[in-house]
Structure 1
Amino acid sequence: MTASDPGAGKRALVLFALALGGFAIGSTEFSAMSLLPFYARELGLSEPVAAHAISAYALGVVAGAPLLAFLGAGLPRRRLLVGLMIAIAAGNALTVWAPTYGWLLASRFVSGLPHGAYFGVAALMAASVMPDKRAQSVALVMLGLTLATIIGSPAANFIGLTIGWRWGFAIVVVLALLTALSVQLFAPLQRPENGRDPKSELSALGNTQVWLTLGAGAIGFGGMFAVYSFIAPLMTEGMGVSPDMVPVILVVFGIGMTVGNLGAGWLADRAMKRTAIGLLVWSAIVLAALPLMTGNLLLLGIGCFAIALGGGLGPVLQTRLMDVAGEAQTLAASLHHAAFNAANALGPFLAGAAISAGYGWTAPGWVGSLLAIGGLAILLVSFWLERRRATPDIPAELCSAE
């Protein structure tokens, strides 16, 4: 995309609109983590129990991604994206008014339903406007998500400290509606291909490589979420740090995710498999080192930045799904974010269980490292099967004795 390219400005506007949606979604997803101590206190819950609201959102993504991608496969992509963002605004409006724990769980579940389908369709649209740099275009859409960890999540934590946690979700309502307007104004309509209908998307469900790639994300990503969800209590209760410093570490974490996201997109366009393997190995190592990072605030900040770099796995696996999904692009791309949020449910759940069992506030690091190793094992199986299938059978005469 160069200044002399007459289409560069249009593509930039499209990517901006799509990334704005990523920022809105990231703000609601990560704000639920940074606001955890505030709604736990107001609703009279322990923090491990209140963290179930995070898991409820993630389960909404898991349920909504395949369903909405299937139902929306026959719609123009722009129309589908606008509808999904309006639904996200409605779900977060319900969260703003949540009077009880049960209402909070239900509203977070509803808020998560459109998440996966939005990112899946947005990734396909982004790749279509930058076909020679697909991984980087997906990374640019995901940039909105990672910027939410720098701006949205710390801002929500600050809002929770000053005027109340509900305002953090009210801002998301505004962002989602602005995204719907921007997509309507800037994005191409992109009608479905001739002969394509929702049933054609179901072919993804019979594709082994699709499931293995999704499994690598669902397990491997859980490590990062295991730690991120409990940063606030780790600092305030485990380390005795002032709550005022929590937004600072959240910003550091968000910067790490942004660097990892953009760097991984660039690397994946050159060596996708090695990039994916390297990110999971890196995550396993730095997550296991979390107990060593809690000696002081500076060390924790460096450690959180290192852990957050592993978030670059997102655009890598998203692009791989485009390669292996065949004709089921929409469903497979949406399922990636179902897997991403299965990790978002699994990581905090296992980390919370470890903390409740008495293993301490650094237990999420060990839990996360094991999850990263599990994701790596699944990904290696995927690559091995792919290579085995691509290797032609050796003629029998070459296998005979000399």
Structure 2
Amino acid sequence: MKKSLLSLMLGGLTIGTTEFVVMGLLPDIASDLKVSIPVAGYLISAYALGVVIGAPLIVMMARNAPPKKILMILAVMLTVFNSLAIIAPSYNFLFLSRLLAGLPHGAFFGVGAVVATRLAEKGKEGQAISIMFSGLTVANLAGVPFGTYIGHHFAWRYTFIIIAFIGLLTIAALYFWMPNLEARAKVTVKSQLQVFKKLDAWLVILITAIGTGGLFCWISYIAPLLTNVSKFSAENVSYILVLAGLGMVIGNLIGGKLTDRFSPEISIIAILLSLSVDLVLVYLFSSNQYASLILVFTTGCISFSIGSAIQILMIRTAVGSELIASASIQAAFNVGNALGAFLGGLPLVAGLNYATPNLVGVVMSICGALITVFFLQRKRKLARLQNC
């Protein structure tokens, strides 16, 4: 593995840990700050909102800067803003810190995805991007369970000390290992924004925002699902999350290979339909502890296999505006995060059990697959017209 890609992976580890660990710490944070679990769940939406705001804004501001410089600044922002959670005296302060921590997320992955394709061997771009995203999966394999364990057994604030430390490692790795790639030819804001005049670009954004909502309907409430429905003890949640992380590691690597072997569109359709079936099984069988453990693994595997395919699809759709387009996908992922957490929480507000958010996830995954089918049919139709 190239050290340059390893530095991107460390950034993914920082981001993945801070994004997903809150989901496992919801009961602890809610208890400490004296709010309900659904209210604490808004911290997930705050982070997602930060991504949506920061991804296009930061990339547009830094569009002509060298990639290494952009990534270094973003890594510093990640470290500083996550450190604010350590001293959060109230729920509102923590909400703001989560919003700020989300700002560099999308821009880092957006710039990182383009950089990964530039560093990759020809025909292995999907696998290069999957290496960067493997930081997210390693976070769910090790960072999130460990952070959940520390937060549950000691204090949730200690978890953010660990995140800040990983952020410092990311800064050092980028400084020493990331090559000084030249910035692309000077571009204007207007030229970058041209991508948003393309229907195809908006379709990819829509696929991401809606289709990935299935993942977030599941993972946003995984801790209370395991304790209230599967009847595991709270002490075992951090260990069970290791299964989800292992599935994500394997799924991410499989997704990268699938994207390089098949078209991104076919990969996305297959993954989203598989996820919808899996979430039905989660709803039906989570009350059985053995089935629940298997489903934690399979859901993690399927849901995290989609990242490379969507990123490659958007980069190919937005030739000439890759940075802003790639960053917008990260914003769309977090719209899916916010929608999944919010819509998935509605059945809970209505008094239904913690398995029901997965049914909302089924609908979102199927809708994402249908939009992808429309995208593919439109693409093939345009290709036929051009060949006539």
Q: Over alpha carbons, which structure has the higher Rg? A: 1
- What residue number does 1:239 align with? 230
Cα distance, 1:199 vs. partner?
Answer: 3.6
Distance 1:194 1:378 in 2: 34
- For the residues of structure 1 that align with 2:148 and 2:243, how far apart are their CA atoms? 14
- Corresponding position: 1:119 with 2:112: no
Identify the match of residue 336 of structure 1 among 319, 324, 329: 329
CA deviation after TM superposition for structure 1 residue 28, in Å: 0.3
Asked if the contact 1:35–1:157 (Cα under 8 Å) also holds between the matched residues in 2, the reply is yes
Match of 1:323 among 308, 316, 340: 316
1:25-40 → structure 2 map (5 Å cutoff): 25-40=15-30
Q: Does 1:211 align with 2:184?
A: no
AA of the residue aligned to 1:40: A
Matched, 1:355 2:355: no
Name 1:379's counterpart in structure 2.
372
Displacement of 1:240 in angstroms is 2.6
Q: CA deviation at 1:124?
A: 1.0
Deviation at 1:198, TM superposition (A): 4.0
1:59-208 equivalences under 5 Å are 59-132=49-122, 133-208=124-199
376-385 or 57-66: bigger deviation: 376-385
AA at the equivalent of 1:258: V
C-alpha contact (below 8 Å) 1:126/1:141 kept by paired residues: yes
The one-letter code sitting in structure 2 at the alignment partner of 1:290 is: V
- 1:127 CA drift (Å): 1.0
Higher mean Cα deviation, 159-168 or 54-63? 159-168
**CA distance in structure 1 between the aligned counterparts of 2:185 and 2:325, rounded to whole angstroms:** 19
Q: How far off is 1:393 after superposition?
A: 6.9
- What CA distance in whole angstroms lies between the structure 2 residues aligned with 1:201 and 1:135? 23
The reply on whether 1:388 has 2:381 as its aligned counterpart is yes
Deviations 1:123-157 (A, max 9, x none): 11111111420011000100001110011110111
Moved over 6 A (4+): none
Q: How far has the Cα of 1:191 moved from its partner?
A: 2.3
- What CA distance in whole angstroms lies between the structure 2 residues aligned with 1:393 and 1:76? 37
Query: Match of 2:262, SS?
Result: helix
* Displacement of 1:248: 2.0
> After the TM superposition, which of the residue ranges 200-209 and 164-173 deviates more from structure 2?
200-209
Are the equivalent residues in 1 in contact too, given 2:209–2:333 (CA < 8 A)?
yes
Segments of 5+ residues of structure 1 without an aligned counterpart are 1-10, 396-402
Distance in 2 between residues matched to 1:394 and 1:74, nearest whole Å: 36
1:220 partnered with 2:211: yes
Match of 1:6 in 2: none
Q: Secondary structure at the match of 1:189?
A: coil
TM-score (norm 2): 0.96
Amino acid paired to 1:328: S
Shift of 1:292: 2.2
In structure 2, the residue matched to 1:8 is none
The secondary structure found in structure 1 opposite 2:381 is: helix
3-state SS, counterpart of residue 289 of structure 1: helix
Of residues 237, 259, 262 in structure 1, which corresponds to 2:250? 259
Q: What CA distance in whole angstroms lies between the structure 1 residues aligned with 2:188 and 2:355?
A: 48
Alignment correspondent of 1:367? 360
- Supply the distance in 2 between the matched residues of 1:89 and 1:393 (Cα, whole angstroms): 49
The corresponding residue for 2:38 is: 48
Q: Give 3-state SS (helix, strand or coil) of 2:254's partner.
A: helix
- Any conservation in 2 of the 1:221–1:311 contact (CA below 8 Å)? no
Aligned equivalents of 1:36 and 1:181: distance in 2?
31
| Corresponding residue of 1:274 | 266
Q: CA RMSD in A?
A: 1.4
Please identify, of 15-24 and 355-364, the stretch whose mean Cα deviation from structure 2 is larger: 355-364
The one-character-per-residue Cα deviations of 1:259-278 (angstroms, maximum 9, x if unpaired) are 11110110110112221110
Identity %: 36
Matched, 1:346 2:339: yes
8 Å CA contact 1:74–1:198 kept in 2: the answer is: no
Taking structure 1 as the reference length, what is the TM-score of the superposition?
0.93
Show CA shifts across 1:46-76 (max 9, x none): 1111000001000100110000111111100
Gaps of 5+ in 2: none
